[in-house]
Chain A
Amino acid sequence: MIKRTFVAASRVLSPGVRRYCGGEVTEDVSEWAASPHLTKQASVYVHWPYCLRRCSYCNFNKYIPKENNDHIMTKCLQRETETMLQLSQVSRVSSVFFGGGTPSLAHPSTIAAVLETVSKLASLSDEAEVTLEVNPTPMGMSRLEDYLHAGVNRFSIGVQSLQDEDLKSLGRDHSSSQALQTIEEARRLCPGRVSVDVMFGRPKQTAGSWVHELSELLRVCDDHVSLYQLTLERGTQLFKQVQCKQVTMPDEEVTAEMYRCARKTLHQHGFMQYEVSNFARHNSMSHHNLGYWKGEQYIGVGPGAHGRFVPLGEGGVVREARTQTLEPDVWIREVQQRGHGTRRRIQLSHLELLEEVLAMGMRMTKGINHEHWDLFSPQLGLCEIFGPSMDVKELLQNKQLILDDRGLRCSWTGLALLDSILPILLLELERNISPVGNLSLSADEQTKKISQPR
């Protein structure tokens, strides 16, 4: 308690500056997010906002393009990449991920141009993972080779389902046979670096049909599988259909069973689960996604993209949560006018940073190891924070959570209950960490809209 007060007091006196306090070295730990180890590199996420059509379940940021503006988009993505990389001052880009929308609608030359820009401003090694999300349509498939030449070295294929009827009702624009062909072609081009996305908990789906479908997929897929539960989002067509009872979603018990079966099946096929939704064999994990879960820096480029990095280029010392402008047309105008379309930036307090590190880290089967945690919280270790809590003890006793000399992680059953476990952990964290990370900033300053070019 006394120690905490000291920390808080020292922050009041001199935020962000190392100082001696009561003979003990204390420092504003939020600065740790600015430590060279964490700030010298970042991954880059590039958002392609366009889709040919709207999937019935998707409420993500996507637009049906009115006209071909590939050229302008390319220029703007390049420009924003440049601005953001300069702002972050990273010397190395660890991975690039083209997501969407439907990024396989982007011309391969656009992908090449963005990657070129990245390379110009930071080192992007040949080994760096460059992933592109692909819709398994004939068009998507025909372009795979060109993407490869543009610099992509990993494909993530949005199979979603192998049931043609379901693909149709979900509003996807491909068939199961097209999906299978695309997987085959992608594996030929990028052996060992192809991932498939598949979705469970679809209307009318049963645990039996799901296992059957998954087994079928496992016969053809490569070394990486992401499986997602279809969630009902407000504002989607599916939501309306469920509301009017035209469509019924499988109930909780059924989706729990689907998840359990999938984990088992994947395990039997040699896939190791390394995160709630991600499975890999032969060490083919997605490095880009692991970056999110490990609390590494990432730079978001494109309409609605999110980023987490320290803007060293403008003298920043704390990590910021950044969101780019959502609407493509507005984003384009902003990028043209001032080089970027950052709509919102929030400086993360020390507590907020740790909350993210915790919530993301616990999604991994390995959880958070002590060294990793200490990187962000050098003063309070995992055991100090979570060890004394009765609630945590109960989770440990119930074998849902594990806290040992490796670190903190979920058990096999615990991982399926992560969203019940996290609130307990977040409360403990809040109890132990002073909520004021950056006292030098007023609430107004913490959220500022950028309106002037810089």
Chain B
Amino acid sequence: MSFSIAKRFSEIPILRRVLQFKMCRRKIASCNVSYTVFRHRWMKSLPVLSSSFRLMSTQPEKDTVDLSKFPVDKIRNFCIIAHIDHGKSTLADRLLEMTGAIAKTEKNKQVLDKLQVERERGITVKAQTASLIYPYEGQQYLLNLIDTPGHVDFSYEVSRSLSACQGVLLIVDANQGIQAQTVANFYLAFEAQLTIIPVINKIDLKNADPERVESQIEKVFDIPREECIRISAKLGTNVDKVLQAIVDRIPAPAGSTNDPFKALVFDSNFDHYRGVVANIAVFGGRVKKGDKVVSTHLGKTYEVNELGLLRPDEHPTQKLFAGQVGYIITGMKDVKEAQIGDTLHLQEQPVDALPGFKPAKAMVFAGMYPMDQSEYPGLRSAIERLTLNDSSVTVQRDSSLALGAGWRLGFLGLLHMEVFNQRLEQEYNASVIVTAPTVPYKAILSSAKLIKEHGGEEITIVNPAHFPDRSHVSEYLEPMVLGTILAPDTYTGKIMNLCLNRRAVQKNMVYIDDQRVMMKYVFPLNEIVVDFYDLLKSMSSGYASFDYENSGYQAADLIKMDILLNGRPVEELTTIVHRDRAYSSGKAMCERLKDSIPRQMFEIAIQAAIGSKVIARETIKAFRKNVLAKCYGGDITRKMKLLKKQAEGKKKMRRIGNVEVPKDAFINVLKRKEK
């Protein structure tokens, strides 16, 4: 074990070098709103590293851990959930150190978070499962820390991680108290009927007020304050109590080694050399190398090539037993074969499949285009490699007359999208134009012809070009979310105003203590995808936190808005908007275009129109003079260069009628605003 630890640490510099090929180009959202996590073991996506992992894991290392010594009652499966920056990773570091999974050094900071994006944002993107061996009251316990994505963008993934656990550590910052994501995470765990251990972290801070946080927990979650454990993960204070509580309070997993083998695939990732590596939770029986296992989802049979524990590195063992959590390599070649939520069983012993998961649905879409079309192949392979380990990203080829060939990608949520973009830039050095995110709308068709064409009444519209005409539709629908906002009550008025402007409907409002208010609103998703977080953060001086969960579809008065240049529609700028928002968004688009289309020899009218009705207009005046003075002493070279550059530039412009529009103009209008 010590060998593999040393090995792993020696790899970190290599890894960092790989990741830091490119410094962060984009300014990182300074507001760590309510995000965390989504996972999969990401490291395998880097071939350099995975090869060294393979070497490591195939060392003829002895099976130092005899897993048969850990019957079900000596096993605890748990995860840690927290609002961002409340100390989840630091606590994980301490747990790993105290159980000897990693050496105790000063350097253990966010050991499980190795991506540049994780360290910069202080979030966990690709968390890892780690099995800890903990001696307690004369017994050896196997504690499986199953890391979960904390953010509801990934609630589908949270629920699948939670399904492998029996308990959670709910961490709350002793200074900040309950935040929006704490609430969202609590409900996920609560609904999964898991044991919840509230942990109040950062009690070493000067402004720590654990009393207050305990009463918040009592009020909001109805958990007796006596159950809270006050710790400082940073200093290690009381972390031992957390370990004890895990053993004492969290029930052992159900199932017995005598049952037929039955395991849940709760995560998977792809390794270029070994194929799919699946993370499994064994619900019953045992499995060993050489066994033939069957995927209930596909009905296909695979031979187990390798299996073992994650500590947090792969640690091959001979067998895995009921209640245990580990990894398995079976010669699956395509990541799609390893369906998350699938049940595995032995070939001879079929079992009833465990309840699977609903497939994740993309809720936020954005176009991605290479900065230059020559970079298309590079970007394509980067996107392919990143999506290999994240099947929740949907990829569709798309092309824009202005931006060239690209893709329309679907993400589970905004954080998911941001993290994906950032990794694309940082890990693959790809410069990308990302268009402003849109949401999937739906239409209930009334035209028999269209219903026949689409094979159903209800269609989902991702691309505004496919927006069906009002006359063929009985109803349009837009996706809604239930948003939770926590903020000091001094900001209540401002926040209510903001929400009102975003067409939100208040569901309730609760004081969680004498200063902090929790508000719940139903928002149209479209209203929060672009700049809602930023506005909320800035108007509350950073004190408000926000989180949301999907909340189905609602009827909405949606219309298609065209942007016209001298009367001609610009295809790529067509958008679907709510009627109430048409004027303001049309005006904003016209203004942005006005600023980025250069003056030409004639006047240019920029209009936003709904059908034939113009709702906003900006005018770019014609040049009256565009000619410059003399060429000093016959130096015409400089002037020629300038003219040639302009002539070259014209070639790259997109022409709408007689108006030449530079690519930059489209980028300025379509792109997400820099934060």
Contact = CB atoms under 8 A, between A and B. Distances in A.
Interface of A: 45, 47, 60, 97, 99, 226, 228-229, 231, 252-253, 255-257, 259-260, 276-277, 289, 292, 298, 300, 304-308, 321, 323, 352, 355-356, 359-360, 394, 398, 400, 415-424, 426-427, 430
B631 interface: yes
Contacts of A255: 625
A426 B647 contact: yes
Given A418-B627, A424-B650, A306 B640 contact: no
A44 B634 CA distance: 10
Given A252-B599, A307-B634, A418-B627, 15 more contacts: A228-B629, A255-B625, A277-B629, A277-B630, A289-B630, A292-B634, A300-B633, A304-B633, A306-B634, A355-B643, A359-B636, A394-B658, A419-B628, A420-B623, A420-B626
A252 B658 contact: no
Contacts of B629: 228-229, 231, 276-277
B651 interface: yes
B226 interface: no
B336 interface: no
B627 A415 contact: yes
Contacts of B448: none
9 contacts: A226-B630, A257-B624, A289-B630, A298-B634, A352-B640, A398-B602, A417-B601, A420-B600, A426-B647
B640 A356 contact: yes
Contacts of B600: 420
Given A360-B636, A398-B602, A423-B647, A416 B630 contact: no
A360 B643 CA distance: 11
Contact of A300 (B625, B631, B634): B634
Nearest to A355: B640
A93 B3 CA distance: 87
A229 B647 CA distance: 23
Nearest to B646: A423
B205 to A, nearest CB: 45
Contacts of A259: 625
B625 A252 contact: yes
B632 A99 contact: yes
Of residues B625, B626, B640, B646, which shows the largest number of chain A Cβ atoms within 10 Å of its Cβ? B625
Contact of B643 (A321, A415, A419): A419
Contacts of A47: 633
A257 B643 CA distance: 24
Nearest to B642: A419
A260 B634 CA distance: 26
B650 A423 contact: yes
A45 B628 contact: no
B191 interface: no
Most buried by A among B600, B633, B635, B651: B633
A427 B628 contact: no
B644 interface: yes
A276 B633 contact: no
B534 to A, nearest CB: 29
Contacts of A45: 633-634
Q: Which are the 9 A-B pairs with shortest beta-carbon distances? A: A256-B624, A256-B625, A228-B629, A423-B647, A418-B627, A423-B646, A426-B647, A416-B625, A419-B626
A256 B626 CA distance: 8
B626 A417 contact: yes
Nearest to A430: B647
A427 B624 CA distance: 22
B633 A420 contact: no
Q: How large is the interface on B (under 10, 10 to 19, 20 to 34, 35 or more residues)?
A: 20 to 34
B637 interface: yes
B630, B634, B640 interface centre (most CB from chain A within 10 Å): B634
A355 B644 contact: yes
Nearest to B638: A306
B54 interface: no
A231 B628 contact: yes
A60 B628 CA distance: 16
A417 B625 contact: yes
B648 to A, nearest CB: 9
A416 B636 CA distance: 19
A189 to B, nearest CB: 24
Contacts of B621: 253
Interface in B497-534: none
A137 to B, nearest CB: 20
B626 A359 contact: no
B639 interface: yes
Given A60-B632, A256-B624, A400-B601, A359 B640 contact: yes
Contacts of A398: 601-602
A47 B639 CA distance: 19
Nearest to B651: A427
A454 B646 CA distance: 38
Contacts of A304: 633
A292 B633 CA distance: 9
Contacts of B634: 45, 292, 298, 300, 305-308
A321 B636 CA distance: 9
A398 B640 CA distance: 25
A178 B409 CA distance: 71
B624 A260 contact: yes
A190 B634 CA distance: 25
A39 B639 CA distance: 24
A97 B651 CA distance: 39
Contacts of A356: 636, 640
A97 B634 CA distance: 11
Nearest to A321: B637
A352 B641 CA distance: 11
A306 B636 contact: yes
A413 B406 CA distance: 42
B633 to A, nearest CB: 5
B99 to A, nearest CB: 61
Contacts of A260: 624-625
Contacts of B626: 416-420
Contacts of B650: 423-424, 427
A360 B631 CA distance: 10
Nearest to B634: A306
B428 to A, nearest CB: 33
Contacts of B639: 359
Contact of A427 (B599, B647, B658): B647
A309 B186 CA distance: 82
Contacts of B649: 423
Contacts of A226: 630
Given A226-B630, A228-B630, A321-B637, A420 B601 contact: yes
Contacts of B644: 355, 426
Interface string B309-336: 0000000000000000000000000000
A93 B534 CA distance: 70
A254 B630 CA distance: 20
A367 to B, nearest CB: 14
Contacts of B599: 252
Contacts of A423: 643, 646-647, 649-650
